[in-house]
Chain A
Amino acid sequence: MAESTVHDIPSVYEPSLFGTYSKKIGMWLFLLSDSLTFGALLYAYSYGRISTANWPTPFHSESIVNATIMTAFLLTSSLTMVLAVRASVQHDAKAQTLWLLATMLCGIGFIVLHGREWSNLIAEGLTLPMFPKVPGHEAASEFANVSQTVPQFAATFFGLTGMHMLHVTLGVIYLGVIALRRKFIPILLVLWLVAWLATPAYSPFHYGAHVLLIAAIVCGIILWLKPKVYDSSDVEVAGLYWHFVDLVWMFIFPLVYLMSAKIL
C-alpha cells in the first residue's frame, strides 16, 4: 500500500537535472574522470617527447600497418556497439547479443594484435626493467639502444598503451557479462587458462593474463549477489564505456605511432 502510494506520486523525486537516467550520468562522470587519467598519460608522453632532443622514431611501416588495422578493429567495434544499443532499444534480444559478440570479437582482435606488437618490440629490445629478459635476443636488439639512451620512451609507451589495453580488456569482459551473463564466467576462465598457458614465462602477458582470473572472480561475485537480465539502459551504458575506449585510441594512434614512424 505504502509502496504504491509512493509510486503514484511522480513528484516525490526531483526530475533529473541532466534529463537522463542516473546510471548513464554515473557512467559519464566516470568517463570524465578517466579521460583525465588518459589526459595525464598523454601529456606525460608529449612532455617527454618535447623535452627530449633525441626522441626516437622507431616504428617501421610494419608497426604502422599493424596499428592501423588495430584502429580499424576499434572503429568497427564502435559501429557494432551502436548497432547493439539500437537492437536493445528495439527489444531485439537476438540481434543485441549478436552485435555485442561482434563488438567483443573486434575488441579481442585489437588485444591480440596489440599483444603481438608488444611481444615483437620486447623481443627487439624495447623493454622496461620490470619485464623479464627474452632469452636469445640480447645481441639482435634493435631497440636496446633506445631503452638505454631514452628510457622515457619505453616507460611512457608501455604505460600509455598498457593502460589502454587494460581498458579494452575490461571492456570486452563488461560486454561479455552484459551479453551472456553467467554463461560468460566459464568462457572467461577458459580464456584465462589459454592466455596463461599459451604465453611463454618471459612474456609480460603470462602474468597479465591473471587479470582475466581476477575479473572472473569479481564478475562471479557480482552476478551471484545481483543476478538480473540486463535491459537497454545497461547496454547503452556499456556502450558509452566502449566508445570511450575507442575515443582515447584516436589520440594515442597519431601521437604515439604516427608521430614516431620511421620514414626511410
Chain B
Amino acid sequence: MEPDQIAIAERVAEEHRHHKKAQFFWVWGALLVMTAIEVYLTYQNMEPIKMLTILMGLSLIKAALIIGFFMHLRYEVSRMKWLTMCSVVACLILMTIFFFPDAKRIIELGVK
C-alpha cells in the first residue's frame, strides 16, 4: 500500500481497537433472538401480507445491525455511509416501482 493508504488503514485499525468485544456478542444475540421471533411468527397463522410486513421489518433491522456493527459502516465517514446506502436503496426502490405493480396487474387480469 502507498504511505497515505497505510496511514488511513492505521487510523481505521485504531478505531476498531476501541470496539468492545461485548458489543459484538450483544449484536449476535439480538440477531439470533430476531431469527427466533421470525420462526415463531411463521407458525401463528397470520395473514400473509401482515406476516410479510413483520418479517421484512425484522430483516431490515437485522440487515442494519450487520451493516452497522459487523461491517463497521457505522464508524465510516458520513460521505461513505450516505453514498453507499443511498445508491443501493435507490436501485431497489426503482426495481420495486417497475416490478410489483406489474405482478399485481397479472393477478387482477387473471393468469391465462
Contact between chains at B79 and A19 (CB < 8 Å): yes
- The residues of A that contact B80 with a CB separation of less than 8 Å are 18-20, 25, 28
Contact between chains at A81 and B4 (CB < 8 Å): no
A39–B46 Cα distance when bound, in Å, is 26
A233–B103 Cα distance when bound, in Å, is 44
Contact between chains at A79 and B24 (CB < 8 Å): yes
Measured CB to CB, the nearest residue on chain A to B12 is A20
Which residue in A10, A17, A64 is a CB contact (below 8 Å) of B42? A64
B-side interface size class: 35 or more
- List CB contacts (< 8 Å) of A18-68 with chain B: 18-25, 28, 32, 35-36, 39-40, 43, 46-47, 50-53, 64, 68
A239–B66 Cα distance when bound, in Å, is 11
Measured CB to CB, the nearest residue on chain A to B7 is A10
A31 CB, nearest partner CB in chain B, Å: 8
A89–B15 Cα distance when bound, in Å, is 10
A7–B79 Cα distance when bound, in Å, is 27
- The residues of A that contact B91 with a CB separation of less than 8 Å are 36, 39
Contact between chains at A86 and B103 (CB < 8 Å): no
Interface residue? A119 (CB, 8 A): no
How does the 8 Å CB contact mask read for B53-66 relative to A, with 1 for contact and 0 for none? 00110110011001
- The residues of B that contact A47 with a CB separation of less than 8 Å are 99-100, 102-103
A20–B11 Cα distance when bound, in Å, is 9
Interface of B is mostly: helix
A-side interface size class: 35 or more
Which residue in B27, B39, B95 is a CB contact (below 8 Å) of A39? B95
User: Which residue, B24, B42, B99, B111, has most C-beta atoms of chain A within 10 A?
Assistant: B42
A263–B102 Cα distance when bound, in Å, is 29
- The residues of B that contact A52 with a CB separation of less than 8 Å are 111
Which residue in A19, A40, A232 is a CB contact (below 8 Å) of B8? A19
Contact between chains at A261 and B59 (CB < 8 Å): no
- The residues of B that contact A259 with a CB separation of less than 8 Å are 48, 51-52, 55
Contact between chains at A32 and B16 (CB < 8 Å): no
- The residues of B that contact A10 with a CB separation of less than 8 Å are 3-4, 7
- List CB contacts (< 8 Å) of A239-264 with chain B: 239-240, 243-244, 246-247, 250-251, 253-255, 258-259, 261, 263
Chain B contacts to A: CB under 8 angstroms: 1-5, 7-9, 12-13, 16-17, 19, 21, 24-25, 27-28, 31-32, 35, 38-39, 41-43, 45, 48, 51-52, 55-56, 58-59, 62-63, 66-67, 69-72, 76-77, 79-80, 83-84, 87-88, 91-92, 95-96, 99-100, 102-104, 106-107, 111
Contacts A16-B4, A86-B19, A233-B1 supplied; 16 other A-B pairs, CB < 8 Å: A10-B4, A24-B12, A32-B88, A36-B88, A39-B91, A51-B106, A72-B32, A76-B28, A78-B66, A236-B72, A240-B71, A243-B70, A250-B63, A258-B41, A258-B55, A263-B42
Closest 10 CB pairs of A and B: A19-B77, A254-B55, A50-B103, A51-B106, A18-B80, A79-B28, A51-B103, A258-B42, A47-B103, A89-B13
